[in-house]
Structure formats: C-alpha cells, structure tokens
C-alpha cells in the first residue's frame, strides 16, 4: 500500500465562504499515482468543513442559510466568554463535519454525476489548511 500527502492553503476574502476544491483534489490524486484506494480530505481547522455536494449557487445559498439558522452568529455563546467571537463557526463545523473520504477507481475520484468537493469556511480571512491524504495501490 502506498500513500501520498499534500496540503491546500486558503485565505478567504470573507469570513464565510464556499471554495470548490474538486480540481485540486483530482490533481493530487493524479500526482499520487494511486489507481485504487481512497483519499481523505480534511480541514485542519475546527471552524471549517469539507463537504461533497452539487456545485449549484442556489444550493450553496441554502446550505449557508441553513447552517446560519441552526448555529447563528450570537454573542451569547459560552465560548465568547473566553474572549473568542467564533462560537457559531465551531458549531457549523459540527453540522457539516471536517472531513470526507472519497473513493479512487482507475486513478480518479469515483464520483456520482453531480458530486463535487468543497471547503466550507466559517471563520476566514486568515490562512487555513486542508490535508489531502491518498492511500491505496
């Protein structure tokens, strides 16, 4: 079994942002030389998420609106009493999770017809990283 690791770095313009990363992940899979296996795509921050979903602007709006309703920006979070202001970003991470595992078949992301990979930022405007670890043969 082989493994290959690369990192993606982001510095979003907005505090909350959706960044398409499928092309980057596919490039890393190709660079790995692995034909059969899986790739772990994981946000290395507890205020960001990785999701697989459709690349459609209306859906993006719905996702961001939904996480905002469930975990709104709110100065009453206990976390804010420590001097932080990003309690909602931590909760949004719990809703969407920080990582995904994707299948690799014949050296490519073996996805459904509409599946794309996204980095979801909830406390941005500073440097953040994603690890992509490809494992297989």
Domain containing 119: what range?
A: 2-136
Contact 40, 135 (CB under 8 A): yes
Contact 75, 88 (CB under 8 A): no
Tens of pLDDT along 71-88? 999 889 999 999 999 999
pTM above 0.85, yes or no: yes
Domain count, the chain: 1
Q: Domain holding 83: CATH number?
A: 2.60.120.460
Tens of pLDDT along 109-119? 999 999 999 99
Instruction: In whole angstroms, give the CA distance from residue 65 to residue 59.
Output: 10
């Amino acid at each position: 079994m082989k493994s290959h690791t690369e990192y993606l770095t982001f510095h979003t313009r907005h505090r909350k942002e959706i960044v398409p990363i499928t092309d980057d992940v596919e490039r890393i899979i190709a660079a790995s030389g692995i034909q059969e296996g899986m790739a772990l795509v994981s946000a290395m921050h507890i205020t960001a998420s990785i999701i697989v979903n459709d690349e459609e602007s209306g859906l993006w709006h719905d996702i961001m609106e939904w996480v905002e309703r469930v975990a709104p920006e709110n100065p009453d979070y206990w976390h804010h009493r420590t001097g932080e202001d990003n309690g909602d970003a931590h909760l949004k991470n719990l809703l969407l999770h920080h990582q995904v595992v994707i299948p690799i078949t014949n050296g490519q992301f073996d996805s459904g017809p509409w599946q794309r990979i996204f980095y979801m930022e909830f406390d941005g405007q500073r440097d953040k990283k994603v690890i992509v670890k490809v494992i297989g043969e």
